[in-house]
Amino acid sequence: TFAMMAIIPGLIVYLVSVNFLSRSIESWFDVKVEAALDGGLSLGQRVLDTLLDDIKKQAESMATTLSLQPALSQYRLLHELRERTGVQDATLLSPSGRIMAVSSEDASSFLPDLPSVTQLSQAQYRLFGKAEPIPGKGLYLRVLAPVHSQELTSDTLILQLLQPVPESLSNTAEAVQDVYRDYQELTYSRDSIKDVFKLTLTLVLMLAMLSALAIAFVLSRRLSRPLAILAEGTRAIADGDYSKMLPEHGNDELGVLVKSFNSMTRQLGDANKVNEQNHQRLEAARGYLETTLAHLSSGVLAINSNSELRTFNLAAKDILGFNLAQYENQKLSKIVDENTFLAEFFKMIETHFELTVDEEQASVEMHRQLEVLGPSGKQLLSVRATRLPASANSGFVVVFDDVTTMAQAQRDAAWGEVARRLAHEIKNPLTPIQLSAERVQHKLLDKLSAEDARMLTRATNTIVSQVGALKSMVNEFSEYARAPSASMKKVNLNQLILDVSGLYEGSHVDITYDLVEFMPDILGDSTMLRQVLHNLMQNAQDALEGQAESGQVKPEITVKTSLDNNAVVLMVRDNGQGFPEKILAHPYEPYVTTKIKGTGLGLAIVKKMVEEHRGDVVIANSESGGACISIQLPLQEGMTELALKARRSES
């Protein structure tokens, strides 16, 4: 309504203004004005034509006079003729435009203004005249006339006369011409002027209409503003913004409603702040707990009262050897069904907490050690568990560590000490025993009968051979007890394998080689590595000894090398009976052996020497049967890539 009250009068004023402007613009272009301008322009042109005709006549007369004179006389006569005619500048030019002679009334003018090439070419055949402006001088009359020489060998010269147009006449002509040009431009743009004025009026009308609409909106908003503010505050609260306070004014019903609304907003804001603070504290505590658990080297499992896995840390996944994420919020029984090696682990935990259900025993902690046979072999786990308080859903927390390496280190240290003492205690009397037996044989052999001599010889030989066996065992003890000190140099592992294995090729066992090409050198102690290979080859050959005698399956040893992630992998595999379970449980402990006369120190020594090279040993049974020992030795950074490039270039 407010907008229509302003728009209708505006439309009426717009229509009247457009009609008035159209009539006014048409009145500007009167026929009499145009005729007067045409007459003034024609008058000025006729005056210039009259002056130009006079100069042309003078040029013809001067050209005729000069043509009757020889060349030298022409140059002298030019000045005289110019002064007689009263022309300002007279110039004789060659057809190419070169100045031959100049005569000027203006002493300050060094060179006259020259005609164009087109004008020169026209002036060779006929009289040429034109009024044209000269920059910096004003409007001039330029006349060019040919001067034909009487001499047959001379070229036709061109006479140029320059005469300035009177300044008053020039200014008047220019003014009339400028006015006439402006009038013509205005005539051509008549319709455009009308369009511009119409567009201007239209824009003014549009602005007026927009202003009217804006004023109408302002007035309507002022009337509905209190309700809109209340609706906006309601939306802010719905979006969670409790800081918005509505302006309070008046004590009417709407004012009381706004005050009540603000009071409610403050109460909601205070409650939300308390809630946010509690949430932030919980998130901070949770983040701290997650960070702590993530950096713990111990595995942590949180289990609720329903025997469901609630949470775990990365160390738990690494120790147990499988991904626990798929079992989150799942029953422990499902984990055991798919990972049977953990049955005793979880059963021990559940059994303990089933016995500590009352409040007096709820704080009792469990601390035990348990052996499990997981994906990575036998592990010794140190398990600690405690029940959570009743407010935490009566679950329990299990913390466990893989102490296999530590226990192995303790056993190695203990066996090393035992080996040192045995070697010391046994080695000392061995040499006197051997020497005494040999001395007895030497002194009594000639004094006894033949039968007694043979008995003495057998006895002393038995003593000497057993002393030798004991010395060999003592040497193995010493080798096991002594901390190896490797002298690292570059070693070609493939060549070392061929050298050592060649010593066993003449036996009853076939040896197959699968050695990687372009094997990079490793840093190692060739003596230690040679002993490692001897131990592995001897163990494999001993394992196949009975099989060769039976003739059921042809005994075979496979030696293979490969490259894997900046490491060299050496694998020695046989097709014998494989390792018994008791060997796989403790493969590196002394006296754990299947040989009748073995000491069980071979693999223990191999492990020590490989660890001295920062390597690793893995013992397992092959799926196709037989024992398999893999040794991984590190390479220098980038050597694997160089070997692969060499292999590709060779292929």
Co-location of 393 and 434 in the same domain: no
The label of the residue with tokens 């209340």 reads 230
Ranges 29-38, 183-192, 479-488, 576-585, most confident: 576-585
Q: What is the 3-state secondary structure (H, E, C) of 487-517?
A: CCEEECHHHHHHHHHHHHCCCCCEEEEECCC
Alpha carbon distance 176, 399 (integer Å): 111
Phi, psi for 512 (deg, rounded to 5)? -110, 135
Given pLDDT bands bounded at 50, 70 and 90, which one contains residue 542?
A: confident
Could you give the number of structural domains in the chain? 4
Split at pLDDT 50, 70, 90, the class of 109 is low
* pLDDT value of residue 568: 93
244-286 pLDDT, tens per residue? 777 777 677 767 777 888 888 888 888 888 888 888 888 888 8
* Residue 580 lies inside a defined structural domain of this protein: yes
Query: What value, to the nearest 5°, has the Cα angle with vertex 48 and ends 45 and 54?
Result: 145
Task: Output the pLDDT for position 44.
Answer: 65
- What the block records as the tokens of 450 is 């033949």
Residues 451 and 377 in one domain: no
Q: 493 and 477, same structural domain?
A: no
Last residue of a domain, one of 239, 274, 309: 239
- Structural domain ending residue among the three candidates 481, 499, 524: 481
Strands of 451-575, DSSP E:
489-491, 510-514, 522-524, 556-563, 567-574
pTM above 0.95, yes or no: no
DSSP label at 544?
A: T
Which of 586, 508, 568 shows the shortest CA–CA distance to 544?
508
Give the whole-angstrom CA distance, residue 67 versus residue 60.
Answer: 10
| Helical (H) or strand (E) element with 467 | helix 450-481
Beta pairing, strands 556-563 & 510-514: parallel
Question: Hey, what amino acid is at 600?
Answer: G
β-sheet with 377-387: strand ranges across: 309-312, 299-303, 396-402, 377-387, 366-374
Q: What's the pLDDT score for residue 632?
A: 92
- pLDDT interval class at 451 (50, 70, 90): confident
Q: 353: domain CATH number?
A: 3.30.450.20
The tens digit of pLDDT for each residue in 505-533 reads 767 788 899 998 888 888 888 888 888 89
Question: What is the residue-averaged pLDDT of the chain?
Answer: 77
Residue 557's DSSP bridge partners are 511, 574
Residue 186: strand, helix, or coil: helix
Q: 423 near 481, Cβ under 8 Å?
A: yes
State the amino acid at position 360 in one-letter form: E
Model pLDDT for residues 615-639, shown as the tens digit of each residue: 999 888 888 888 999 999 998 765 5
Assign residue 399 a region: left if phi > 0, alpha if psi is -120 to 50, beta otherwise? beta
Residue 533's closest CA among 413, 625, 633? 633
366 phi/psi in degrees, rounded to 5: -105, 135
270 located within any domain: no
For residues 260 and 641, which has the higher predicted lDDT (pLDDT)?
260
Hey, is 150 helix, strand or coil? coil
pLDDT at 479: 63
Q: Are residues 398 and 431 in the same domain?
A: no
Average pLDDT over residues 445-463: 82
For residues 622 and 628, the answer to whether their CB atoms sit within 8 Å is yes
Does any domain span residue 143? Answer: yes
Percent of the chain scored above 70 by pLDDT?
74
Determine, yes or no, domain membership for 452.
yes
Structure confidence at residue 359 (pLDDT):
47
Q: 3-class DSSP state for residue 637? A: coil
**Which of these three, 206, 239, 272, is where a domain ends?**
239
Do 527 and 641 lie in a common domain? yes
Helix axes 526-543, 602-612, angle to 10 degrees: 150
Domain that includes residue 431, residue range: 409-481
| Per-residue model confidence as pLDDT tens digits over 59-100 | 888 888 888 777 777 777 878 888 888 787 888 888 888 888
Q: Which residue has the higher pLDDT, 222 or 55?
A: 55
Is 107 in the same domain as 177? yes
Structure tokens at 106: 């203006």
pLDDT value at residue 561 = 92
Residue type, 245: M
Q: Are residues 462 and 553 in the same domain?
A: no
Instruction: Classify burial at 26, counting beta carbons within 10 Å of its beta carbon; exposed 0-12, middle 13-18, buried 19 or more.
Output: exposed
pLDDT tens digits along 348-387? 877 777 655 554 444 567 788 877 776 666 777 888 888 7
88 neighbors 106 (Cβ within 8 angstroms): yes
Helix (H) or strand (E) holding 532, with range, is helix 526-543
Same domain? For 55 and 187 the reply is yes
- SS3 assignment, position 124: coil
Task: List C-alpha distances in Å: 494 to 230, 297, 521, 529, 567.
Answer: 87, 39, 9, 12, 14
Rounded Cα–Cα distance for residues 290 and 311 (Å)? 10
Yes or no: say if 576 and 555 are a contact pair by the CB < 8 Å rule: yes
User: Same structural domain for residues 329 and 191?
Assistant: no
* Residue pointed to by tokens 């026209």: 122
CA-based nearest residue to 621, from 587, 644, 570: 587
pLDDT tens digits for range 299-335? 888 888 778 888 888 888 888 877 888 888 888 788 8
Residue 474 predicted with pLDDT over 60: yes
Structure token digits, residue 82:
């110019």
Q: DSSP class of residue 596?
A: S
Output 566 or 227, whichever has higher pLDDT.
Answer: 566
Query: Does residue 284 lie in a domain region?
Result: no
Residues 112-137 have a mean pLDDT of: 80
Q: How far is CA 616 from the centre of its chain?
A: 36
* pLDDT of 475 strictly over 50: yes
Look at residue 288 and tell me if it is in a domain. Answer: no
**Predicted confidence band at 544 (pLDDT cuts at 50, 70, 90)?**
confident
Q: Residue 408, Cβ neighbours under 10 Å: how many?
A: 15
Residue 505: what pLDDT? 77
Strand partners, 145: 159
Give the chain's length.
Answer: 651
Residue 117, pLDDT score: 83
How far apart CA 631 and CA 567 sit, in angstroms, is 10
CB atoms inside a 10 Å sphere around CB 173: 20
Q: Is the pLDDT of residue 541 over 70?
A: yes
Beta strands in 275-405 (DSSP E): 299-303, 309-312, 366-374, 377-387, 396-402
610 contacts 633 by C-beta, under 8 angstroms: yes
| Cβ count near 513 (within 10 Å) | 13
Q: What pLDDT does 559 receive?
A: 92
Same domain, 64 and 165: yes
Q: Is 339 in the same domain as 423? A: no
Average pLDDT of the residues in 183-194: 67
Q: Regarding predicted confidence, which is higher, 541 or 583?
A: 541
Structure tokens at 293: 């658990």
CA 557 to CA 574: how far, in whole Å? Answer: 4
Residue 445 and residue 564 share a domain: no
Residue 539 identity? N
Give the CA count within 13 Å in the CB-facing half-sphere of 514: 12
278 is a domain residue = no
Greatest Cα-to-Cα distance within the chain, rounded to the nearest angstrom: 180
CATH number, domain containing residue 571: 3.30.565.10
HSE-up (13 A, CA, CB side) for residue 164: 14
CA distances from 608 to 270, 486, 489, 525, 593 (A): 68, 11, 18, 13, 17
